[in-house]
């Protein structure tokens, strides 16, 4: 009982100091009746009332004044309030866990009451003739109420959802759009941005830039919307990931920044200018060097705490990569393990109402499909999400399934054009550029777009992606003159100034 009393005091301590915590608790199904003691219930009831009155501050002095005005600040209540205020304030993750604990406790206590009623009925039945149907009928409403309380705390009707949606539309908002991810404008158009409650997957072979494109999208969301963006990596250190972001901005190989060459005076000047531009935009991007303890539950806790710190109910989560997320229970079958992790991430996106973006490597067959030119040009002669490591139900869990694959024909044509352009200049060195196709194999609630494939130029040495445009189905035909299309791409890259800089590097 002392443990549940400590939970009660901790929750009240948080509620009295932070309106955000009480709001999150109410969203999770908290009610004053969940408190184990009368004093706790009375104080919680007052806090909920004050929370509903936006013009009244939610802080200890004001609450004491309200209690005194209502004649409720008895010596006993005064001592209880003092005990609450000496209790450390919980973080957001603890609040969510405590609310769930109190809800489960309340359900168990109600079941104990039901069990007592059943036991009494069985005892009394020996001496008197009570109708079984009437008795069970009297229990059903109680059992249904217990069930209702253990279900989702928020069960809006279609009318509630529709009313909110129509208001947004009439106000001129675009309710179906998620977070934009410039400079990838065509990708934003094709998937309607990174949408709340959506689960995204990106698969590809090694060295195709999966981490780089995910990292750039994460930085874009953080910079524009100032919400917490959590990037969990089991592959790289935070220093290496930051060097990639910085190298992309400076248009320099990130390895240079991590070696003595990075202290060169000329590089330091570029570094200072780039960091001045980046610093503010990266204030809400968090890079986590994840380990074997960073389960989905811990990821959820970190998200709650960062949303609390920034006083928002929005966030975005990136996972690099899915198959490395640890589980609480040992699962040795690779397919079952991947399916279980994927299911948990899909549930997390709905629970937090945020985009969850996960990276997945390809299996050996998928890598073979991507590591050399296809025998025949076809939009189907490539890896798919089914070639992900351990893939089973992965594609079914995802709302948007994306696969990065190298376009060998376009890459060769662009390289030939570059060689002819740079012949006789600076030794004829050609920057390493892969032309990549981003295939949208699944795109739930997708708008109509030009095509389901978007083409990128990936500057391998500087980890820089440039969106070239949509790739229509006709371009997968062997009769299509891709060489002419690559000349347009070359003009686009030249206009951006990247070819000259990429060449110098």
Residue 179 falls within a domain, yes or no? no
67 and 198 assigned to the same domain: no
407 and 497 assigned to the same domain: yes
Which pLDDT value is given to residue 405? 92
Chosen domain end from 102, 134, 150: 150
pLDDT along the chain (505 residues), means of 10: 88 91 89 91 90 76 85 90 92 92 88 84 67 78 72 65 74 74 92 94 92 95 95 93 89 84 77 86 94 93 93 95 90 88 94 95 88 65 86 84 91 86 65 91 83 91 89 67 77 78 41
Tokens of 341: 């992790």
Which pLDDT value is given to residue 341? 93
Residues in the chain: 505
Which pLDDT value is given to residue 118? 84
Which pLDDT value is given to residue 503? 40
Give dist(CA 39, CA 456) in Å, integer.
63
Give dist(CA 308, CA 90) in Å, integer.
11
Contacts of 293 (CB under 8 A, 6+ apart): 326
- Nearest residue to 201 (alpha-carbon basis) of 365, 378, 338, 372: 338
Residue 169 falls within a domain, yes or no? no
Residue 286 falls within a domain, yes or no? yes
CA 40 → CA 25, 77, 104, distances in Å?
Answer: 15, 9, 18
Give dist(CA 455, CA 476) in Å, integer.
12
Which pLDDT value is given to residue 430? 79
Which pLDDT value is given to residue 471? 86
Residue 336 falls within a domain, yes or no? yes
CATH of the domain at 44: 1.10.860.10
Residue linked to tokens 């050399």: 372
- Nearest residue to 102 (alpha-carbon basis) of 17, 29, 27, 12: 29
Residue 173 falls within a domain, yes or no? no
Residue 158 falls within a domain, yes or no? no
138 and 220 assigned to the same domain: no
The SS3 of residue 456 is strand
Residue 320 falls within a domain, yes or no? yes
Distance of CA 137 to the CA centre of its chain: 45
107 and 206 assigned to the same domain: no
Chosen domain end from 150, 177, 210: 150
Eight-state DSSP code of residue 194: B
pTM for the model: 0.85
Tokens of 92: 């957001």
Phi, psi of 289 (to 5 degrees): -80, 90
266 and 333 assigned to the same domain: yes
231 and 138 assigned to the same domain: no
114 and 209 assigned to the same domain: no
Chosen domain end from 150, 173, 203: 150
In the sheet that holds 285-289, the strands lie side by side as 285-289, 229-233, 316-320, 356-361, 199-204, 400-406, 433-443, 453-459, 464-470
Phi, psi of 87 (to 5 degrees): -85, 130
Which residues constitute the domain of residue 44? 2-150
CATH of the domain at 457: 3.40.50.300
362 and 454 assigned to the same domain: yes
Give dist(CA 87, CA 67) in Å, integer.
20
The SS3 of residue 272 is helix
102 and 241 assigned to the same domain: no
Which pLDDT value is given to residue 505? 39
Tokens of 61: 């002095």
Q: What letters, b where the CB count within 10 A reaches 16 and e where it falls short, cover 246-284?
A: bbbbbbbbbebbeeeebeeeeeeeebeebeeebeebbeb
204 and 138 assigned to the same domain: no
Give dist(CA 89, CA 208) in Å, integer.
46
Tokens of 489: 């791409």
Which pLDDT value is given to residue 203? 94
196 and 96 assigned to the same domain: no
146 and 102 assigned to the same domain: yes
Provide the number of structural domains found in the chain: 2
Residue 180 falls within a domain, yes or no? no
- Nearest residue to 325 (alpha-carbon basis) of 389, 403, 384, 385: 389
């Amino acid at each position: 009982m002392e443990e549940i009393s400590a939970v009660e005091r901790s929750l009240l301590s948080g509620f009295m100091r932070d309106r955000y915590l009480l709001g999150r608790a109410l969203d999770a199904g908290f009610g004053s009746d969940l408190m184990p003691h009368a004093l706790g219930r009375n104080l919680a009831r007052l806090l909920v009332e004050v929370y509903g009155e936006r013009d009244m501050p939610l802080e200890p002095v004001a609450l004491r004044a309200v209690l005194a005005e209502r004649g409720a600040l008895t010596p006993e209540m005064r001592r209880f309030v003092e005990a609450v205020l000496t209790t450390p304030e919980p973080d957001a993750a603890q609040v969510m866990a405590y609310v769930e604990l109190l809800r489960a406790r309340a359900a168990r206590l109600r079941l104990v009451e039901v069990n007592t009623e059943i036991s009494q009925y069985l005892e009394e039945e020996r001496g008197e003739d009570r109708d079984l149907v009437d008795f069970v009928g009297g229990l059903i409403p109680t059992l249904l109420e217990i069930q209702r309380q253990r279900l989702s705390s928020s069960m809006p009707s279609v009318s509630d959802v529709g009313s909110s949606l129509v208001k947004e539309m009439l106000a001129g908002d675009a309710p179906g759009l998620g977070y934009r991810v410039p400079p990838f404008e065509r990708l934003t158009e094709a998937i309607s941005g990174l949408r709340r409650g959506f689960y995204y997957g990106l698969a590809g072979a090694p060295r195709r830039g999966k981490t780089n494109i995910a990292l750039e999208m994460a930085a874009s969301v953080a910079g524009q919307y100032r919400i917490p963006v959590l990037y969990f990596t089991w592959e790289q250190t935070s220093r290496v990931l930051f060097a990639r972001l910085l190298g992309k901005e400076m248009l320099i190989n990130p390895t240079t920044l991590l070696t003595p060459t990075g202290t060169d005076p000329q590089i330091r000047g570029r570094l200072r200018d780039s960091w001045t531009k980046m610093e503010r935009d990266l204030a809400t991007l968090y890079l986590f060097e994840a380990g074997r303890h960073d389960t989905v539950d811990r990821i959820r806790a970190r998200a709650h705490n960062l949303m609390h710190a920034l006083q928002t109910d929005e966030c975005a989560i990136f996972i690099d990569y899915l198959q490395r997320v640890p589980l609480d229970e040992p699962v040795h079958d690779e397919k079952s393990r991947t399916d279980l992790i994927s299911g948990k991430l899909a549930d997390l996106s709905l629970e937090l109402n945020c985009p969850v973006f996960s990276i997945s490597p390809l299996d050996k067959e998928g890598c073979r499909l991507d590591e050399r030119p296809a025998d025949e040009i076809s939009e189907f002669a490539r890896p798919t999400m089914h070639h992900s490591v351990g893939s089973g139900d992965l594609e079914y869990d995802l709302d948007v399934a994306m696969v990065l694959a190298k376009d060998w024909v376009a890459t060769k044509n662009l390289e030939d054009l570059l060689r002819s352009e740079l012949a006789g200049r600076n030794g004829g060195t050609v920057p390493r550029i892969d032309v990549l196709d981003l295939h949208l194999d699944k795109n739930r609630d997708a708008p109509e777009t030009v095509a389901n494939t978007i083409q990128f130029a990936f500057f391998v040495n500087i980890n820089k992606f440039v969106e070239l445009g949509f790739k229509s189905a006709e371009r997968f035909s062997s009769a299509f003159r891709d060489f002419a299309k690559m000349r347009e791409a070359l003009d686009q890259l030249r206009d951006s100034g990247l070819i000259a800089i990429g060449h110098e590097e």
